[in-house]
Amino acid sequence: MIKKNIRNHMLEERAKLSKEEHKAYSQSIYHRLIGSKFYENSNTIMTFISFKDEVDTHRLIKNSLKIGKRVTVPITYPETKEIKPSEILSFDELEIGFYNILTPKKDYIRLIKPEEIDLILVPGLAFDRRGYRVGYGGGYYDRFLAKYPNITTIGICFDLQIIEELPKEDFDIPVDFIITEKEFIDPAKENSF
């Protein structure tokens, strides 16, 4: 299956979730994530801001800010196809930006050094048990993650987005772990047979 087909298939499958399922699964993923040692031990996290029918990250962002974690979100630069982390202090600092995704308003852009980040939550349309993912096709995250291999990465997605094996290219960067509403996947253990 080529990546374009996988993208289209996953967009269709994810869109089939009812509002109730989406909410319940997102809640389960949220609890699994905040209960993990990676989240508990992190001071600064970088998370995507969910849109449409992605796993909801809005609650995570608001609650992380409330308990005193530093929260950064990616700002996309389409001309260079890169993302840069910007710290937010409140959910109210966000507005609709590129690709209709919430992004910090110009007055609230506070770029930070990626080295300050302890944990990155990575979006994706599909993940496999080796940690590889298919995103939306821009390559933003692969380029970013390639520069910072020492930061812990967790892909969050619904169980229906897990595929046994995805096509892999040289520039694809796997995530360290994956959390779904059903399980916590450790690719290092999955691949150690």
Check if the beta carbon of residue 97 is closer than 8 Å to that of residue 82.
no
- DSSP SS3 for 171: coil
- The single residue listed with the structure tokens 């080529």 is 2
Q: What is the pLDDT of residue 35?
A: 96
- DSSP SS3 for 77: strand
Counting the structural domains of the chain, the total is 1
Q: What is the pLDDT of residue 76?
A: 87
Q: What is the pLDDT of residue 30?
A: 98
**CA distances in angstroms from 169 to 135, 139, 174, listed in the order given:** 13, 11, 11
Task: Report residue 117 CA to chain centroid gap.
Answer: 14
pLDDT band of 192, cuts 50, 70, 90: very low
Task: Read off the CATH number of the domain in which 123 is found.
Answer: 3.40.50.10420
Residue 134 amino acid letter:
V
Taking each helix axis as running N to C, give the angle between helix 19-34 and helix 58-66, from 0 to 180 degrees, rounded to the nearest 10: 40
Average pLDDT of the chain is 93
Q: What is the pLDDT of residue 1?
A: 59
Q: What is the pLDDT of residue 193?
A: 41
Residue 171 has pLDDT above 90, yes or no: no
- DSSP SS3 for 155: strand
Calculate mean pLDDT across residues 122-133. 95
Expressed as residue numbers, the domain containing 43 is 3-190
- The single residue listed with the structure tokens 């998370």 is 47
Residue 127 amino acid letter:
F
Q: What is the pLDDT of residue 60?
A: 97
Q: What is the pLDDT of residue 72?
A: 98
Residue 116 amino acid letter:
E
From 113, 115, 187, select the one nearest 151 (Cα to Cα). 115
Check if the beta carbon of residue 76 is closer than 8 Å to that of residue 85.
no
Residue 82 in tokens: 């890169």
From 64, 82, 59, 68, select the one nearest 148 (Cα to Cα). 82
Q: What are the tens digits of pLDDT across the range 71-101?
A: 999 998 888 989 999 999 999 999 998 778 8
Least confident of 106-110, 112-116, 139-143, 150-154: 139-143
